[in-house]
Amino acid sequence: MREYVKNRVHELYWNEDINCARTAIICLSELFGTTIEPQVIWSAVGLHGAGGYRAQCGLVEGTLMFIGIYLHALGKTESEIVSACYDFASAFDSIFGSLRCFELRPAGFSESDPPHMCENLTCKGIEFSYRYILKITKK
């Protein structure tokens, strides 16, 4: 899984130039064999820290979107999905130290940034998300 995520993130970032939220949704959907409608991918186009504003991290947002889609497909209730999202956010915050792009990417976004500064963080975030979802769905 780790090698898959590393290679897929690199491909999505460098070949398709898509953001962290869409990368998270795509990788998780492929890892879990879940079809994602194109509209969902387009809905996440501005979710990399709220369009670069550095608000909530796109890795969190993309994973939360995927959790909703995936758990709904598994027949979970709205209450169960909301609880899983809350628990994910808490766990992500504990591991990574924040949910905010402002803190996870302290330099922000500028034209002088090297391309895809968050590639390593993205790999770690998606691996964490994958393990979290596996854990909550194996209960």
Local structure of 56: helix, strand or coil: strand
In the prediction, which pLDDT does 106 show? 61
Residue 65 CA to its chain's centroid (Å): 8
Q: At what angle do helices 78-96 and 58-73 cross, to 10 degrees?
A: 150
- Which residues of the chain fall below pLDDT 70? 106-109, 139
The amino acid occupying position 11 is: E
Instruction: Copy the structure tokens of residue 46.
Output: 């501005």
The residue extents of the domains of the chain are 2-137
Which pTM value belongs to this model? 0.92
**Gap between the Cα atoms of 52 and 69, Å rounded:** 25
Q: Which residues contact 98 (CB under 8 A, 6 or more apart)?
A: 57, 104
In this prediction, residue 53 carries a pLDDT of 77
Which of 27, 82, 112 has the alpha carbon at shortest distance from 44?
A: 27
In this structure, what are the phi and psi dihedrals at residue 100, rounded to the nearest 5 degrees? -100, 130
pLDDT, residue 109, reads: 66
Residue 14 is predicted with a pLDDT of 94
